[in-house]
Structure 1
Amino acid sequence: MLIYNLNGEFVDAADANLACNDSAVLFGDSLFETFKAQDGHIQFLDQHLDRLELGARLLNFPCDRPALRSALLETAARLTAPMARLRLTLSRGPMTSLAFPSAVSGHFFINAGPYQEPDSAELQQGVICVFAPNRRVNPLSHLPQLKRGNYADCLYAADYARRKGAREALFNEDGQVLEGATSNLFMIKNDTLLTPPAGELVLAGIIRRQVLLAAADRGLSAEERPISEEDLFNADEAFLTNSLIGLLPIAQIENRSMKRGLWTARLATAVAQAAAAVFGAENGTNRKNF
């Protein structure tokens, strides 16, 4: 069952619409976050809202955090699927010119429904990746660090991967591998965890941060530095992360097989434990399995 929440009100699919002059419709001018919920409980809720709030401040979006949090929790409570996906989108509201509206109104809407996690074959054997045929629209912009609705470059790359029979497309800027169309990238080499630095070119992913924390807790040294194609192909293991897939091992990039190791599974377990601990801290409970 799909659930729609528009500005805090639950609506039918036919009524879950924005006006044709909304900034999100006209220009893709929106911010969003994608959440994973298990048994109606949202993982890393406040970390997602922290990032959304940062983007709203930087781009001058209306953002009523308490109202958004309440709407998300109410929506999650209605979910019946054991595993679900929620997407929260912020819009600036109607625009009649290229100037941002002087009156800060805006809209938010939530789409929620069942989510099918990666199957056992993907988790055990890994997934196929390809290099995206396109570059980011403006790789030097500070905006890639924000979750923006203007997602054409990522959508094009993700569709390319699907047409090639791959799970993910990796952005490659002048020989430096940045991240996936929908994921962050990690690799292990000589018992060191490597990932491209977040900021101008790479999104500061929620699970990305949890992986770095888990590595520190387990004595695995980590470096945030550029990763070349050669670095990646010579990795001892490599994996993707995002809030829905968690950690997903990479088995092949283009036509080259990747090595497999033990750290991906160890870090995946650690991130799952962190999700349970964060939920317990926020809600005064102790969940062993999130």
Structure 2
Amino acid sequence: MFEQARCWIDGSITPASEAKVSVFDHGFLYGDGVFEGVRFYNCKAFRLPLHLKRLQRSAAALQLTIPYSSEQVVQAVAETIAVSPLTDGYLRIIVTRGVGVLGINPATCMQPGVIIIADQLQMVSDAQREQGVRAIIASTRRLTPDRLDSRIKSLNYLNAILARMEANHAGVEEAILLNDRGCVAEGTADNLFIVSDGILLTPPATEGALAGITRQTVLELAAANGIPAREAVLTPYDLYNADECFLTGTGAKLIPVREIDGRKIAECPGTRYQQLTQAFSALIQQETGD
């Protein structure tokens, strides 16, 4: 199952089958840590500096010190990709609070740990990417910023997992989370865009969305290609009446949505989605191609 996966753990590279972390690591015990997902193409990490900047900000919000400099993490990423049998793949960069005694007090953890995993990640099938996925609006709500800010990419994903379980029970591929005011936040592991009257819209991070790297890239590509785009507060009404809808994320890349709560989206895959997907693929080649 993990034959192609390779792991870098605090300076040592090992096959996934031999990788070990302590059962007393607070990242494992309590989800006390942060992470980044990074794609690599042609053996080169895509937009790694932006991911490391977000990793640092997530860690700072949790008063978690990353025990390596950015330059050292970049080198560790390069080493992990080099030993991977994959040319194109997915990286998971994890910073845990480290080993401590039982109990949630982080003061008992003396040394944070860093893990980098290189493997494959396919969130949807090729057929689903071509025809679009179906989604529901979950009853599970995204946590508010005064509880846990969505811009912190922490190891605790129970909120999203519960929403994904709702999607599984409903027999669809994705769930969309609302915030406590009933406004759209994001998908379970991806940002959300709609097209309405020719304008590309996405919820701001303050509504409970992750400040996604792919999300920002899509906004940049929209500007470069003359597509009107802006952040906007959205409700389920806006989703039901959207001309197009699609999801974005490092793992997801771009995925069209064809149905929300049994309501068909007018265009899937839509014109704007196809235009941006082509631009995104061209950007990947431009930044990582030989």
Q: Normalised by the size of structure 2, how large is the TM-score?
A: 0.89
Counterparts of 1:58-137 in structure 2, within 5 Å, are 58-63=61-66, 64=68, 65-96=70-101, 97-101=103-107, 105-116=111-122, 118-137=124-143
2:7 counterpart (4, 21, 36): 4
Unaligned runs of 5+ in 1: 280-286
Distance in 2 between residues matched to 1:117 and 1:225, nearest whole Å: 26
| Contact 2:61 2:152 (C-alpha < 8 Å) held by counterparts | no
| Contact 1:90 1:108 (C-alpha < 8 Å) held by counterparts | yes
Partner of 1:284: none
2:57 counterpart (49, 54, 61): 54
Aligned-residue CA RMSD in angstroms? 2.1
CA drift of 1:200 comes to: 5.6
The range that moved more, 111-120 or 65-74, is 111-120
Partner of 2:234: 227
Distance in 2 between residues matched to 1:239 and 1:103, nearest whole Å: 41
2:166 counterpart (153, 160, 163): 160
| Contact 1:141 1:200 (C-alpha < 8 Å) held by counterparts | no
CA drift of 1:53 comes to: 1.1
User: Is 1:270 matched up with 2:279?
Assistant: yes
CA drift of 1:119 comes to: 3.9
Residue 117 to residue 103, structure 1, CA distance change in 2 (3 Å): closer
Cα-to-partner distance string for 1:142-196 (whole Å, 9 max, x where unaligned): 5211110011111121233233332211002343121001000000011111100
CA drift of 1:140 comes to: 4.1
Partner of 2:193: 186
CA drift of 1:136 comes to: 2.8
CA drift of 1:208 comes to: 0.2
Distance in 1 between residues matched to 2:94 and 2:241, nearest whole Å: 39
Secondary structure of the 2:139 match is coil
Counterparts of 1:208-287 in structure 2, within 5 Å, are 208-260=215-267, 261-279=270-288, 287=289
Distance in 1 between residues matched to 2:71 and 2:57, nearest whole Å: 15
User: Is 1:170 matched up with 2:179?
Assistant: no
Distance in 1 between residues matched to 2:255 and 2:17, nearest whole Å: 35
Determine what percentage of the aligned residue pairs are the same residue: 30
CA drift of 1:104 comes to: 5.6
Distance in 1 between residues matched to 2:114 and 2:274, nearest whole Å: 36
Partner of 1:207: 214
| Contact 2:132 2:256 (C-alpha < 8 Å) held by counterparts | yes
| Contact 1:194 1:223 (C-alpha < 8 Å) held by counterparts | yes
1:145 counterpart (141, 147, 151): 151
| Contact 1:44 1:275 (C-alpha < 8 Å) held by counterparts | no
Residue 178 to residue 137, structure 1, CA distance change in 2 (3 Å): closer
CA drift of 1:109 comes to: 0.8
Count of matched residue positions in the alignment of Structure 1 and Structure 2: 281
Distance in 2 between residues matched to 1:76 and 1:159, nearest whole Å: 32
Distance in 2 between residues matched to 1:19 and 1:138, nearest whole Å: 32
